[in-house]
Amino acid sequence: MSEADIGVIGLAVMGENLVLNMANHGFTVAVYNRTTQRVDDFVEGRAKGKTIIGTHNPEELVNQLKRPRRVMLMVQAGAAVDKVISDLLPYLEAGDIVIDGGNSNYGDTIRRTHEMTEKGLLYVGTGVSGGEEGALIGPSIMPGGNHEAWPHVKNIFQSIAAKVDDAAPCCDWVGADGAGHYVKMVHNGIEYGDMQMIAEAYALMKHALGMEAGQMGEVFAEWNTGELDSYLIEITAEILAKV
């Protein structure tokens, strides 16, 4: 009997946590991993007692899914994504949806979107931000690709996404083709730029001004009360206060 709302392939920590997040929000999830022992360990461990179905091959996974089938890949970017898609294709039908939740190059996502469209399948390249903890308690999700898929994945994605103060989900459709992974790339560039500036400010305070960790923490905490208010500044202040 096909009962799962979505299938997830790839049970590294991000994949596991995303699956648990989905199950915690009332969705039934079928899971598969190339190393099948990992499936068994997950189902008998962290997933025990939850609405999570373990499978041992792509065909079994697909057969567990409601139509249109939704399969989310949480595998390493690059050739692994193409290999998993190739393994899935014999079991999918027109209108089924394949979601890439990894950090794929947006150019690859454009190519895959077009290739899948030619086969009658809907492809969604999806940026997922928040790390391992965010995947479990609420990530930012940036889906893009074939817009026909959006009504079929919107409820799941917006249910598991982080929420802002007005309860709006940190998830919305960002555009066609590789837009989801392009937005994630820009997001990462901004984040890494911020981290570099924080590192340089720390280096100047420590090595040029001779400040102690607690003093630097106070400066970062003060910065976090003004226009520099951000998660990265906040946790930097907290870390320095504990050193």
Active site residues: 184, 191
What is residue 56's three-state secondary structure?
Answer: coil
d(CA 75, CA 80): 7
Per DSSP, the residues of 67-95 read SSPEEEE-S-SSHHHHHHHHHHGGG--TT
Structure tokens at 52: 């999570």
Q: Helical H runs in the chain?
A: 13-24, 36-44, 58-63, 79-88, 106-118, 131-137, 150-160, 179-203, 213-223, 231-242
Taking only Cα atoms into account, the Rg of the chain, rounded to an integer number of angstroms, comes to: 20
End-to-end CA distance of the chain: 55
